[in-house]
């Protein structure tokens, strides 16, 4: 292979074996032996041949450096492409996360502002039974839904008031209980 390359490049440069031998500092027979593949030039002679024939040593030796370089560049391009895709996915996920957080903050702020703008009412009922006084307080919204309720433990234990959702239900139930048991209530 090397011998063929020397022969073809010598012919391409229109040099005779004698002219090439003189430039490299060897005999014509040495050039002939190289071209026939019987012997090979040493590293110093390869350098001279490379300069004289205007080719790289790799081209002279028929090393396929170009294929290796193309393969390395191709692999680098593939890796860069994968990295770009990964970065795009991370970017999209980051943007989605930021949007999600912003929407969450807006919704949470809206819910909190709804609760803070909510109208609250408070009522307290006072009842007497067997000369003992009981009271119960309820805070509720404009839809009569109980927001907070508390009072005497006796009422909580006996009447099981946690089961009611609306203030008017609790008040009616307390009044009924005291009326049935010969007590009375003031609102």
Q: What is the pLDDT of residues 78-121, one digit of tens each?
A: 899 999 999 999 999 999 999 999 998 888 876 665 555 678 99
Task: Please give the Cα distance from 31 to 56 (Å, whole number).
Answer: 18
Q: What is the mean pLDDT of the chain?
A: 88
pLDDT of residue 58: 84
How far apart are the C-alpha atoms of 149 and 159, rounded to whole Å?
Answer: 13
- pLDDT tens digit sequence for 140-181: 999 999 999 888 888 877 777 788 889 999 999 999 999 999
User: At residue 136, does pLDDT exceed 80?
Assistant: yes
Instruction: Please report whether residue 140 resides in a domain.
Output: yes
The verdict on residue 32 lying in a domain is: yes
Query: 141 near 121, Cβ under 8 Å?
Result: yes
Structural domain containing residue 18: 2-65
Q: In CATH, what number is assigned to the domain containing residue 22?
A: 1.10.260.40
């Amino acid at each position: 292979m090397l011998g063929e390359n020397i022969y073809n490049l010598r012919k391409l440069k229109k040099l005779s074996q004698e002219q090439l031998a003189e430039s490299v500092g060897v005999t014509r027979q040495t050039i002939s032996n190289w071209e026939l593949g019987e012997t090979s030039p040493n590293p110093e002679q390869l350098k001279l041949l490379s300069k004289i024939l205007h080719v790289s040593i790799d081209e002279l030796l028929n090393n396929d450096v170009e294929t290796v370089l193309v393969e390395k560049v191709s692999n680098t391009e593939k890796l860069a492409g994968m990295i770009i895709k990964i970065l795009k996915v991370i970017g999209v996920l980051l943007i989605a996360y930021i949007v999600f957080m912003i929407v969450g903050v807006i919704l949470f702020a809206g819910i909190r502002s709804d609760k803070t703008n909510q109208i609250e009412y408070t009522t307290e009922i006072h009842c007497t039974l067997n000369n003992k006084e009981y009271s119960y307080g309820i805070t509720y919204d404009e839809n009569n839904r109980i927001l907070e309720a508390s009072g005497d433990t006796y009422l909580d234990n006996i009447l099981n008031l946690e089961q009611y959702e609306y203030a008017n239900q609790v008040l009616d139930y307390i009044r009924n209980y005291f009326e049935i048991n010969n007590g009375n209530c003031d609102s």
